[in-house]
Amino acid sequence: MAPPAQSQRSHSPSQPSGKGEVSDLKMQLRQLAGSRAPGTDDSKRDLFKKVISYMTIGIDVSSVFSEMVMCSATSDIVLKKMCYLYVGNYAKYNPDLALLTINFLQRDCKDEDPMIRGLALRSLCSLRVPNLVEYLVGPLGAGLKDGNSYVRMVAAVGVLKLYHISGSTCVDADFPALLKHLMLNDPDAQVVANCLSALQEIWGLEASSSEEAVREREALISKPIIYYLLNRIKEFSEWAQCTVLELVSKYAPPDSNEIFDIMNLLEDRLQHANGAVVLATIKLFLQLTLSMTDVHQQVYERIKAPLLTLVSSGSPEQSYAVLSHLHLLVMRAPMLFASDYKHFYCQYNEPFYVKKLKLEMLTAVANESNTYEIVTELCEYAANVDIPIARESIRAVGKIALQQYDVNAIVDRLLQFLEMEKDYVTAETLVLVKDLLRKYPQWSHDCIAVIGNISSNNVQEPKAKAALIWMLGEYAQDMQDAPYALEGLIEDWEDENSPEVRLHLLTAVMKCFFRRPPETQKALGAALAAGLADMHQDVHDRALFYYRLLQNNVSVANSVVNPPKQAVSVFADTQSSEIKDRIFDEFNSLSVLYQKPSYMFTDKEHQGPFAFSEELGNLSIGSEPADDILPAQRVEANDEDLLLTTIEKEENRAHGNNDSAYNAPAYDSSLSQLAVSQTDGELLSLDQTVPADAPQPSSAIDDLFGLGLSIAPSPAPSPPLKLNSKAVLDPSTFQQKWRQLSVSISQEGSLSPQGVAAMMSPQALLHHMQSHYIHCIASGGQAPNFKFFFFAQKADEPATFLVECIINSSMCKAQIKIKADDQSASQAFSALFQSALSKFGMA
Amino acid sequence: MPVAASAIYFLNLRGDVLINRLYRDDVGGNMVDAFRMHIMQTKELGTCPVRQIGGCSFFYMRISNVYIVIVVSSNANVACAFKFVVEAVALFKSYFGGAFDEDAIRNNFVLIYELLDEIMDFGYPQNLSPEILKLYITQEGVRSPFSSKPTDKPVPNATLQVTGAVGWRREGLAYKKNEVFLDIVESVNLLMSSKGSVLRCDVTGKILMKCFLSGMPDLKLGLNDKIGLEKESEIKSRPTKSGKTIELDDVTFHQCVNLTRFNSEKTVSFVPPDGEFELMKYRITEGVNLPFRVLPTIKELGRTRMEVNVKVKSVFGAKMFALGVVVKIPVPKQTAKTSLQVTSGRAKYNASMDCLVWKIRKFPGQTESTLSAEVELISTIAEKKSWTRPPIQMEFQVPMFTSSGLRVRFLKVWEKSGYNTVEWVRYITKAGSYEIRC
């Protein structure tokens, strides 16, 4: 087999257009098309190879389509395969030409050689041209009933391909039912497996629109099917076993005997050479025993050895995948690997990602008995040549210190790091020492002695610098030259790029000032002056705030800046336990690696950290056009309101800087325009009803002063609750209120599938709710998660209810959060809301 | 859904596409560009094998000078995807005969496309067994096994074998001489602290087999592992010192091994595939015999001079010997001159690796060998204590030795025609990651 001629060509950085070559090829192919001379196939092969190699490197060879099709009349199977590949690649973009191929593919589907039948069927289904689906149904139907398992195997996947091109054609031809029949009866395991994969996908996608599909999907995890598949588990290929095990893990056996039966049957799968099978089995075991605590523990013990084997065998990438799972497990059961910590010692040549996970494992498994060894080992890495790993190791030591009670030795080690005199080591250590001091103030004496010797010139990284400055301020009385160190730093104010450091510097100088006034006074003045002139808004604001505070009352200022502090006992966990549980449910998938549940990275909606702000900005804002409403009930914008709006705006902006989820910068301008345009109409409306929105801006002011919400009157709830039919709220007020109020009721309910289907056209839901005087302010999302924001007002008073409603269409679940000005009425409102939703089968 | 890969790409180190196979339409055609832009051309490369870009996740592995990239758009099973790539590469290797690199791919791209069609359909892994695939995908590929004339003997069952239950062996094999080769290959991993205490030490071993046997033989393998022996004789054996009984931490088997029988009777019995395969893998952490002891002393004499003294002792049987012993002793970057003395083998300074490389072709058991070196350094002003000593690394192979002490007690072959077989057993221990801190 001669190497294809393109190898030299593609070495040149600019790939040739290949125009000349392509037309040459076209000529040659045309000559060969009709020829029946011996040796034709060989020359065809060379030409086809050239075409394919051009195609691979990205040269457009679609112009030889008709010639390729003409040449395809051959009995040479390799030629056929190349031709199928070519056709599959270009058919989509040349639907007219694709029609040419239908003929010969259909003919091949009836070939006597099952291999050819299979190949042709596969290619036919891979054309992906919507208007050719009618030609697919016949061959697919025949393929599913073919006497040869190879053809049936291809046909099963073919049905799925057809479904993706045209779902209705697939369902109308009753292929899913055929697949189900095959799955339950075919003697060939691979056919069964392909049917299962196809059915899972088809029912999963259909479930949102058809109730039957939901039933069918449920039926897949019913006892008869599960047992049927389990009994054949050993016939399946390793990949198909993964699919089956995954399916079984969704099955909930009714009693514990059944659980033990399944586990006994599958225990040997833990010895399978394919790590994917082992992991799938582990998932199944863990899911089965979730409700049986002691058995669950035994499962942990049982899976330990296989997991450790998986870590140490296979490629680094595989180890990485397994280690991520180990990490998840160890977070749930920290004792699990406590005695096996040596397995997580890093090897010198391992890639970064494996080392990093191993360090996390070492951190997680550290307990009283092994801390000494682990920390000793971590200290070795801190001296590592590999700087990122050295940093990670130091962080790991710090995390262990924060977990443990006996930190004595660790503090010493940390302080020794500072003596290594390497920038990055010092930087990481400083950040850690700061956190340690917040938790264990009793160590301040030892730490301060060492920290005091560090020159701030040697610390460049913002985080570390901020930590050092914090310590200088916090322990100003213990550190001899704290004021002078701070003074030095303030002199370099202009060169300090990080606002974070400048903020810390301001606070530290303030703290220092109250402890050692005479020495710090000058520095404080300089710092406040520099801060007031600072371009960064936050720095400026903080400087101004301190300035005013000092001006107002010095002793109050002291109690604001230097309040008595309590040691931090537990640092906040970044992930809620709910999220962790969801990740655990999705064991053996990407979720574990990304450490977030799948909806966060597969749904478009969640691709940002929290994309709601854009949602409010871009999607149907204020579903009712403003003109429909009586002017009197619009936002009453008198002078006071105008003033308040600016405050709101500032608040909005500040929140934007804090990455708050609910900022919508686009509103600022529109809002003020709205407000301005309304100033003329204001007098008219003053004497009319109480302005609907008036309490809200004022509550914003209360909030700013930390007075809490007291303005909204709370009369005794008078059932039946009546809602204002013409309630008005503008989006920014909504956002603001949403921020301020706490959730008064949070509920979850299930919907009937028909209801969900009806909701799929969102306007229907919105109109329906509106008829109940509940108005939608924003909605968005993509299948299966939709989010709606509603609001309503009481008929007789300006108390507002805010609702966030998340509907998951695939699980038929609705999640409702209600916030209310008048907490006492929220129960009544919730009942009202649910009765409104009951049209959609809310239970 | 185990994998449901949307596309698979093979790229060379420059990012040129060698092979692309789109299985699904749910990812755009510009996925390669995304991979190049966001992974290959950034520092991200090599920091994590799984990355998310846009709505898609990329799994990539580098194998010699090729990147294999799998793109998925759903929440896929990662372990399965990587295993699939590993298996696929093994399959390609068995077709190309050894190497898997850019040239091999360029020379065989038609074959690879053919294989990619068979091993994955619409993103779902299908049959990856080389045994079966080789039946109907041949490098010549002139005819399919089905189209052969009905008089041809070995094919009637071919249809069953393509997808059938005993996926790993076809019927009707016949050899003149029935032979079985069995290799126990162990790699011993060690991490020793500078004070000479063992921080971590384990053995990962595998049993490789090469079978040239007629018919459908049933094989039974007996090892001196603890569980197997206990089960067999019901005698409680003492924890091993002489390497009599071995405690295996964990075992995994080739799919041909009857696991139910292993669990109930503790015997390894199987119908082997034809040709070469990996029968089992195991892991041992207790009672590991280290073949070499390394005793380093490194003295830094002032700023510009270092004295290195490394003694290597072989602690396996006197009649055995190790082959291809390489000791890599790290030295600082600013090394200027070295003078080396060794009692056996050859040593030199390798500037590109910042190492003294000491090679001993044949190292007999129960002996020792020393290297002493004087290293002169260029004096630098900037870095005072910058040299963090990487560990000494060692490579070796010791034939007829197992670190774990595992031995084959018997290998029985049973076939209904009752032919005689010749069995060959070999042992070898290699260095895995053998690191000694200094």
Pairing relationship of beta strands B198-212 and B250-253 according to DSSP bridges: unpaired
Report residue B341's pLDDT band, with 50, 70 and 90 as the boundaries: very high
DSSP H stretches of helix in B208-352: 226-233, 259-265
| Per-residue confidence (pLDDT) for residue A839, from 0 to 100 | 67
> What is the per-residue pLDDT for B180?
93
Tokens standing for A660? 């708050």
> Which DSSP symbol is given to B36?
I
Chain B nearest CA to A359, separation (Å):
15
A43 Cβ contact partners less than 8 Å away, ≥ 6 residues apart: A28, A32
Question: Residue A118 and residue B147: Cα distance in Å, rounded?
Answer: 13
Backbone angles phi, psi at B23, to 5 degrees: -95, -30
pLDDT recorded at residue A267: 87
Give A253-310 as a DSSP string: -SSHHHHHHHHHHHGGGGGBS-HHHHHHHHHHHHHHTTT-HHHHHHHHHHHHHHHHHH
User: What residue of B is the nearest CA neighbor of A312?
Assistant: B204
Task: Say which of A160, A305, A347 has its CB closest to residue B249.
Answer: A305
B19 contact residues in A (CB cutoff 8 A): 56
* Residues of chain A found within 8 Å of residue B125, distances taken between Cβ atoms: 237, 239
Q: Which residues of B touch A602 (CB under 8 A)?
A: 55, 73-75
- Tell me whether A313 touches chain B (CB under 8 Å): yes
Question: Which range, A5-14, A523-532, A793-802, B263-272, has the best average confidence (pLDDT)?
Answer: A523-532
In chain A, what is the greatest distance between 2 CA atoms, to the nearest angstrom? 106
Distance (Å, whole) CA A285 – CA A766: 44
Q: Rounded to an integer, what distance in angstroms lies between the CA atom of residue A544 and that of residue A537? A: 10
Query: What kind and span of H or E run contains A694?
Result: none
Per CB-CB distance under 8 Å, the chain B contacts of A351 are 46
Question: Which A residues, 81 through 140, put their C-beta within 8 Å of a C-beta on chain B?
Answer: 81-82, 85, 89, 112-116, 119, 122, 128
Q: What is the pLDDT of residue A405?
A: 61
A758, two tokens? 């009806």
> What kind and span of H or E run contains B52?
strand B50-53
pLDDT at A281: 93
B48-69 pLDDT tens trace:
888 888 778 889 998 889 999 9
SS3 state of residue B402: coil
pLDDT tens per residue across span A302-321: 898 889 888 887 889 999 99
Instruction: Report chain B's terminal Cα–Cα distance, integer Å.
Output: 48
- Are A164 and B24 in contact (CB < 8 Å)? yes
List chain B residues with CB under 8 Å of A339: none
% of residues, chain B, pLDDT over 90? 30
Residue B323 pLDDT > 90: yes
CB A284 within 8 A of CB A251: no
Dihedral angle at the C-alpha atoms of A714, A718, A723, A724, nearest 10 degrees? Answer: -60
A26: number of Cβ within 10 Å? 19
Residues near A581 by beta carbon (within 8 Å), at least 6 away in sequence = none
Residue B243 has pLDDT above 60, yes or no: no
Please state, in angstroms and rounded to a whole number, the distance separating the CA atoms of residues A677 and A661.
29
Among chain A residues, CA nearest to B57: A590
Chain segment B89-135, per-residue pLDDT in tens: 988 888 887 788 998 888 888 888 889 988 998 889 888 887 778 77
Examine the pLDDT at B139 and tell me if it is beyond 60: no
Of B83, B142, B260, nearest to A76 by CB-CB distance is: B142
pLDDT in tens, A370-418: 888 888 888 888 877 678 888 888 888 888 888 776 677 777 888 888 8
Which of A746, A757, A719, A725 has its CA nearest to residue A819? A746
Most confident of A640-649, A710-719, A755-764, B351-360: B351-360
For residue B37, give the DSSP letter. I
DSSP three-state, residue A614:
helix
Q: A543-552, A598-607, A743-752, B214-223: which range is least confident on average?
A: A598-607
Please provide the DSSP assignment of B231-263 as one string.
Answer: HHH---PPPPSSSSSB--SEEEE-TTB-HHHHH
Most confident of A150-159, A477-486, A702-711: A150-159
Is pLDDT above 70 for A664? no
Structure letter (DSSP) for residue A842: -
pLDDT band at A667 (very low <50, low <70, confident <90, very high): very low
Residue to mutate among A344, A347, A361, with most B CBs inside 10 A, is A347
Chain B CB within 8 Å of residue A458 CB: no
* A271 touching chain B per CB within 8 A: yes
- Does residue B27 register a pLDDT over 60? yes
> What number is the average pLDDT over the span B159-174?
62
Determine, for residues B75 and A10 on separate chains, whether the beta-carbon distance falls below 8 Å.
no
The confidence band for A689, taking pLDDT boundaries of 50, 70 and 90, is very low
How many contacts (CB atoms, under 8 Å) link A and B?
268
pTM for the full predicted model: 0.71
Give the phi and the psi of residue B116 in degrees, each rounded to 5: -60, -30
Chain A residue numbers touching B86 (CB-CB < 8 A): 314-315, 318
Among candidates B2, B259, B391 on the partner chain, residue whose Cβ is nearest the Cβ of A246? B2
Sheet containing B66-72, strands listed edge to edge, beginning at the edge strand earlier in sequence: B17-22, B7-12, B66-72, B56-63, B50-53
Nearest to A590 among B75, B127, B437 (CB): B75
Give the Cα separation of A338 and A374 in Å (integer).
11
Distance of CA B367 to the CA centre of its chain: 30
**Mean pLDDT, residues A288-298 taken together:** 89
Q: Which of A398-407, A478-487, A540-549, A559-568 has the lowest mean pLDDT?
A: A398-407
pLDDT at A642 > cutoff 60? no
Residue B227 reports pLDDT greater than 80: no
Judge contact between B400 and B427, C-beta under 8 A.
yes
* Chain B residues with CB-CB distance to A343 below 8 A: 200, 202
Distance CA B121, CA B109 (A): 18
Peptide bond into A462 cis (omega under 30): no
Does B164 score more than 50 pLDDT? no
